[in-house]
């Protein structure tokens, strides 16, 4: 019998935006898969160590090493490499070695991803679309990475080309709003007001918004009003007059 609440659908994974800034991530392997993993964690501002014999490096991984974007250890994995590590990504063509590494990580409670072995993964990598601060991930829970890529491309093709820039401007506005209304009890009001801005203004308006526009718009936070972009630019938004002898 169906109830009034969402029906539980088992078999999924919990999709999170994992913050690994300044965390120590160990990548074991130096081939094409390792190269993709390295890009993912570097984009998330992690501190990356790569362990792989030099003859196993592909051109991209060798480039990251030459540019000192990662710390490099020229040899095969050793258990001591796990000391002080926050996350492990394994991408080697040795199933037995991969399983042993996973067991070691499990014993040390280090989250690990073993490439192409879903049962030995604490988390999966999805197919990600990136546009500035916007990230959209499609996951098949390890069932079909290629299909995830196809779905991700279809979703990305339907997005407005300026959505990333609009999100950057919204982020800047939120930071300014926190400065003028920093109290914790203001939280619900800040969220409600920002929601009104995002719903009332078009993506084009948000992209065009500059610092002067933001300052003018923030003048309407206290009474909870959200004038249109055109009204803000004209400098005489409707409803701005508060009944006293001056504009809000």
Question: Which residues form the catalytic set?
Answer: 116
- Residue 73 has which token pair? 């250890």
Measured distance CA(181)–CA(68) in Å, rounded: 42
What tokens does 193 get? 């007001």
Q: Quote the tokens at residue 105.
A: 């990580």
- Do the bridges between strand 112-114 and strand 87-90 make them parallel or antiparallel, or are there none, so unpaired? parallel
d(C-alpha 162, C-alpha 203), whole Å: 7
Q: How far apart are CA 174 and CA 179, in angstroms?
A: 9
Place of tokens 């990356």: 48
């Amino acid at each position: 019998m169906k109830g009034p609440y969402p029906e539980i659908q088992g078999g999924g994974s919990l999709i999170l935006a994992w913050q690994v800034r300044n965390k120590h991530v160990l990548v074991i392997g130096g081939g094409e898969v390792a190269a993709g993993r390295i890009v993912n964690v570097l984009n998330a501002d992690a501190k990356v160590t790569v362990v792989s014999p030099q003859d196993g490096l592909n051109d991209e991984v060798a480039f990251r090493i030459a540019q000192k974007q990662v710390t490099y250890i020229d040899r095969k994995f050793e258990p001591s490499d796990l000391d002080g590590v926050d996350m492990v990504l394994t991408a080697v063509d040795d199933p037995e070695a991969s399983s042993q590494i996973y067991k070691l990580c499990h014993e040390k409670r280090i989250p690990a991803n073993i490439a192409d072995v879903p049962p030995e993964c604490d988390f999966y990598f999805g197919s990600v679309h990136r546009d500035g601060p916007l990230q959209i991930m499609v996951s098949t829970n390890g069932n079909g990475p290629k299909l995830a890529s196809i779905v991700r491309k279809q979703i990305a093709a339907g997005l407005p080309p300026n959505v990333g820039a609009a999100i950057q401007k919204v982020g800047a506005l939120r930071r300014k709003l926190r400065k003028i209304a920093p109290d914790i009890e203001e939280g619900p009001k800040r969220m409600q007001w920002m929601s009104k801005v995002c719903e009332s203004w078009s993506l084009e308006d948000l992209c065009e918004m500059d610092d002067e526009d933001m300052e003018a718009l923030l003048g309407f936070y206290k009474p909870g009003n959200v004038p249109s972009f055109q009204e803000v630019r004209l400098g005489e938004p409707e409803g701005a007059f508060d009944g006293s002898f001056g504009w809000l």
